[in-house]
Amino acid sequence: MINLGFHSDRLHVIYNSLDYDKQSEVDSRLPASTKNRIRHELFGQDDSPVLLYIGRVTFDKQLELILQAAVLLEDEMQLNVNIIIVGEGPAIGTLREEAMSLGLSERVRFVGACYDETRIAEFFRAADLCVVPGPVGLTAIHSFTYGTPVITNDDFDSQKPEVEAIVEGETGSFFRKGDARALAVATAEWLERIEREGDAVVRRCRAIIETRYTPHVQGELINAVIEECPPPEAVRVR
pLDDT tens digit string along 48-61? 999 999 999 999 99
Q: For 70-92, how does the pLDDT look when each residue is reduced to its tens digit (9 = 90+)? A: 999 999 999 999 999 999 999 99
Q: Is the pLDDT of residue 232 over 60?
A: no
Q: For residue 43, what are the domain limits?
A: 19-229
Task: Give residues with Cβ within 8 angstroms of 225, minimum separation 6.
Answer: 12, 14
Task: Please state the separation of Cα 155 from the chain's center in Å.
Answer: 16
b/e per residue 20-52 (b: at least 16 CB within 10 A): beebbebbeebeeebbeebbeebbeeeebbbbb
The lowest-confidence range among 1-10, 143-152, 170-179 is: 1-10
CATH number where 130 lies = 3.40.50.2000
Residue 73: CA count within 13 A, CB half-sphere: 29
- The secondary structure of 132-148 as a DSSP string is ESS--SHHHHHHHHTT-
pLDDT of residue 238: 38
Q: What is the pTM of this model?
A: 0.90
How many domains does the chain contain in total? 1
Q: What is the mean pLDDT of residues 177-189?
A: 97
In a domain, residue 84? The reply is: yes
pLDDT of residue 227: 83
